[in-house]
Amino acid sequence: MSSEKQKLDRKKGTEKFPRNNRLLNAKQFSRVFDKANKIHNKAFTLLVRKNDLGYARLGLVIAKKNVKQAHRRNYIKRQLREYFRQRVIIFGDHDLVLLTRRDIASLTKTDIIAYRNKLFQRFERQIS
List the chain domain ranges: 17-127
Section 53-59 average pLDDT: 94
Q: What is the mean pLDDT of residues 94-113?
A: 94
pLDDT surpasses 50 at 8: no
Distance of CA 21 to the CA centre of its chain: 10
| CATH number for the segment(s) 17-127 | 3.30.230.10
**For the chain, percent of residues with pLDDT exceeding 90:** 77
First-to-last C-alpha distance (Å) of the chain: 31
- What number is the average pLDDT over the span 50-65? 94
CB 31 within 8 A of CB 49: yes
By residue count, the chain amounts to 128
How confident is the model over 63-92, as a mean pLDDT? 93
Q: Are 62 and 97 in contact (CB under 8 A)?
A: no
Question: Residue 99 in 3-state DSSP?
Answer: strand
Residue 51: φ, ψ to 5°? -120, 175
CA atoms within 13 A on the CB side of 75: 15
